[in-house]
Amino acid sequence: MAFPDRSRATSYAAPHGTISMARANLLENRDKLLNRLGKLRPDTPRRWGKMTAHQMVCHCTDAFRNVLGERATARVNPSGPIRARLLKWLALYSPTRWPQGIKTRPEADQEQGGTRPGDFDRDVACLEQASHRFAQNLAAVSARPHFMFGKLSEREWARWAYLHLDHHLRQFGL
């Protein structure tokens, strides 16, 4: 069952300019995301959730490192093909923003198995580097299933990466 891409005519105004949701992916918007990341400070207050700004940086880095296969992760267990496709469509193509307060996987949770924050500037540089490695290795990444959505194309992984970083940058008002 194929789901229509309803995001084609959808755009939203963001603090960093208007972004077309249909084109919003890491490959085309990485510089804009990194510019927003550059405005983050260790004491930037969150708008929702529990993570500090520094924990968010490590969380996003861990997410990239997990899908690159650089860190051990729990076994992939999509909840069935129909539910996985529905969740994938809602997360990647629905014209709504990701919900706030979704519990993260333990290996990307800085209070559980995720990387503990160290030096803020060094951790931001690690996130920038991880996003670059991710963008350069999309073919290899697309061979790995997403833990919730199952198989993703290179385009879908690039979309996921954009939406994940955008979600957390908005969490801190960026």
Q: What's residue 88's pLDDT?
A: 84
Q: Is residue 29 part of a domain?
A: no
| Domains of the chain: total | 1
CA angle 131, 164, 36 (to 5 degrees): 65
Q: Which residues of the chain have pLDDT under 70?
A: 1-23, 74-79
Residue span of the structural domain in which 116 resides: 43-171
pTM comes to: 0.81
Q: Is residue 16 part of a domain?
A: no
Q: What's residue 54's pLDDT?
A: 97
Q: Is residue 14 part of a domain?
A: no
Q: What's residue 72's pLDDT?
A: 75
Q: What's residue 76's pLDDT?
A: 60
Neighbouring residues of 115: CB distance < 8 A, sequence distance ≥ 6: 58, 61, 62
Q: Is residue 26 part of a domain?
A: no
Closest CA relative to residue 110, chosen from 170, 161, 168 = 168
Q: Is residue 150 part of a domain?
A: yes
Are 113 and 107 in contact by the 8 Å Cβ rule? The answer is yes
10 Å CB burial of residue 21 (0-12, 13-18, 19+) is buried
Neighbouring residues of 25: CB distance < 8 A, sequence distance ≥ 6: 155, 158, 159, 161, 162
Largest CA-CA distance found in the chain, in angstroms, rounded: 47
Q: Is residue 105 part of a domain?
A: yes
Q: Is residue 100 part of a domain?
A: yes
Are 135 and 27 in contact by the 8 Å Cβ rule? The answer is yes
Residue type, 118: G
Q: Is residue 37 part of a domain?
A: no
Closest CA relative to residue 169, chosen from 17, 53, 80 = 53
Q: What's residue 6's pLDDT?
A: 36
